[in-house]
Amino acid sequence: MGMTITEKILAKHAGRERVEPGELISAKVDAVLGNDITAPLAITEFEKIGVERVFDPERVYLVPDHFVPNKDIKSAEQAKLMREFARKQELVHYFEVGRMGIEHCLLPEQGLVVPGDVIIGADSHTCTYGALGAFATGVGSTDLAAAMALGETWFKVPETIKFVYEGELPKWVSGKDLILYTIGDIGVEGARYMAMEFTGPVIEKLSMDGRFTMCNMAIEAGAKNGIVPPDEITAEYVRERAKRPYHFEYSDEDAQYARTITYDASWIEPQVSFPHSPDNTRPVTRATHVQVDQVVIGSCTNGRIEDLRVAARILNKRKVHPNVRMIVFPGTQEIYLQAMSEGLFRIFIEAGGAVSTPTCGPCLGGHMGILAKGERAVATTNRNFIGRMGHPESEVYLASPAVAAASAITGRITHPEEVI
């Protein structure tokens, strides 16, 4: 009997011929990561273990991105603790403000996560790297601490749900819409503890940026990991970037899946997730009555160059509605420079929007765009839980960069066709 790509990667890292879903295995990790919220706890726990050094200073990635540039004294203390640990341990990949990015945009871009890897990160959106054909999953700080000491961790081998996207993507429909549609279909625990394998002709044509967006939100269906079979698009992306050798794994023809779900993407409209759950999705045409106060474009879900390009295309020579605050967050400094050189920032600023340095700030209600009581935002982020972007009585509607940009112009949730 064959294995899925997820099972093959885990078997290889466990030093085994094969693994079965449900088995508990110990596996080597290629790298681990933490951020300024999760790493301080992990560092405290690591120091209790009593080992002097991390397992490999080239494979522990620390990225201050959540509350940086430091939003207050307490967060400055947390960032400092992390910085001092990175220096003491001589970590090669610690990314300071000015050289950093949102971790899940930054690490693939820097070639620090590659196809075939096993990666754990103390951040739930670590599953983003599955877009490269890697196994990547989020853990808590104590698991990160243990893996920083051991270079390995334990996993329960997940069952896999195979998703097949047939047909052609309609205009204005993106990877974000596909994943919102999927979560809307299977629910926020529809893939709990499982792997989501994204396949089919639509995925084969989807850009890396679109694939990152889809894998990023696998966690919002409760999944352990999202994964896309690597191909020429993957190869093109990693060729110039990879800092380590990589290898492509593929699911066998006779691999066992818990379920196979097929969608005809030709009929999928741009999607909007209503408060307060990512699975509360509706087609955008059934959301156009919702007025908004703020539009957020960016994050680890949609802060990549392709996302900024589509938003700029819609906002070009148009104005942000007088009642709307639009804030754009490029994912990394490299994306920032690229967007700047393409003139995208001129478009956003002339439209009346603000452009920020990379940060997770508003997505999790940290800083840089907090909502007051009763306010509503359309955001290209990943969660619309109660209080996610600020006041517990504020609301977040999740959508693609195209829908977010169109909504910024009209002041209510809008299909891009309406403004173009």
Site membership for other proteins, residue 235 (CB under 8 A): no
Among 72, 90, 204, 236, binds other proteins (CB under 8 A): 72
Site membership for other proteins, residue 55 (CB under 8 A): no
Among 65, 123, 177, 306, binds other proteins (CB under 8 A): 123
- Residue 58 carries which side chain, given as an amino acid letter? E
How many other β-carbons are positioned within 10 Å of the β-carbon of residue 167?
Answer: 15
Which range binds other proteins by CB under 8 A, 63-71, 164-172, 236-244, 305-313?
Answer: 63-71
Which range binds other proteins by CB under 8 A, 69-77, 87-95, 287-295, 332-340?
Answer: 69-77
Site membership for other proteins, residue 142 (CB under 8 A): yes
> Looking at beta carbons only, is 234 or 382 nearer to other proteins?
382
Residue count of the chain: 420
The Cα 24–Cα 27 span in angstroms is 10
DSSP conformation letters of 333-372: HHHHHHHHHTTHHHHHHHHT-EE--S-STTTTTSSSSPBP
Number of residues that bind other proteins (CB under 8 A): 52
DSSP state, residue 34: E
164 φψ region: left (φ > 0), alpha (ψ -120 to 50), beta (else): beta
State the distance between the two ends of the chain, measured CA to CA, in whole angstroms. Answer: 51
**Residues 205-224 within binding reach of other proteins (CB under 8 A):** 219, 222, 224
The Cα 394–Cα 190 span in angstroms is 26
Site membership for other proteins, residue 86 (CB under 8 A): no
365 φψ region: left (φ > 0), alpha (ψ -120 to 50), beta (else): left
Question: Residues near 33 by Cβ (< 8 Å), separated by ≥ 6?
Answer: 60, 61, 62, 63, 103, 107, 119, 120, 121, 122, 123, 126, 144
Lay out the site mask for other proteins across 22-51 (x = CB under 8 A, - = otherwise). Answer: --x------------xx-xx--xx--xxxx
> Looking at beta carbons only, is 146 or 328 nearer to other proteins?
146
Site membership for other proteins, residue 66 (CB under 8 A): yes
**Residues 102-121 within binding reach of other proteins (CB under 8 A):** 121
The Cα 296–Cα 307 span in angstroms is 12
> Looking at beta carbons only, is 20 or 236 nearer to other proteins?
20
How many other β-carbons are positioned within 10 Å of the β-carbon of residue 260?
Answer: 12
Cβ(234)–Cβ(265) under 8 Å?
A: no
Which range binds other proteins by CB under 8 A, 65-73, 175-183, 197-205, 207-215?
Answer: 65-73
344 φψ region: left (φ > 0), alpha (ψ -120 to 50), beta (else): alpha
Site membership for other proteins, residue 146 (CB under 8 A): yes
Site membership for other proteins, residue 252 (CB under 8 A): no
Site membership for other proteins, residue 162 (CB under 8 A): no
Among 23, 97, 124, 285, binds other proteins (CB under 8 A): 124
Site membership for other proteins, residue 343 (CB under 8 A): no
264 CB-side CA count, 13 A: 2
Site membership for other proteins, residue 280 (CB under 8 A): no
**Residues 352-381 within binding reach of other proteins (CB under 8 A):** 364-366
In the numeric block, the tokens 């081998």 are attached to 157
Site membership for other proteins, residue 67 (CB under 8 A): yes
SS3 209: helix
Site membership for other proteins, residue 52 (CB under 8 A): no
Which range binds other proteins by CB under 8 A, 141-149, 243-251, 333-341, 346-354?
Answer: 141-149
Query: Least distance (Å) from other proteins to the CB of residue 186?
Result: 12
Site membership for other proteins, residue 154 (CB under 8 A): yes
> Looking at beta carbons only, is 38 or 160 nearer to other proteins?
38
> Looking at beta carbons only, is 219 or 339 nearer to other proteins?
219
Helical ranges in 50-94 per DSSP H: 73-88
Q: Which among 278, 261, 301 is positioned nearest to 221, based on CA atoms?
A: 278
The Cα 212–Cα 207 span in angstroms is 9
Q: Which among 370, 381, 389 is positioned nearest to 300, based on CA atoms?
A: 381
> Looking at beta carbons only, is 49 or 349 nearer to other proteins?
49
Contact positions toward other proteins, by CB under 8 A? 24, 37-38, 40-41, 44-45, 48-51, 66-67, 71-72, 74-75, 78, 121-124, 126, 138-143, 145-146, 149-150, 154, 156, 188-189, 192-193, 219, 222, 224, 277, 364-366, 383, 385-388, 392
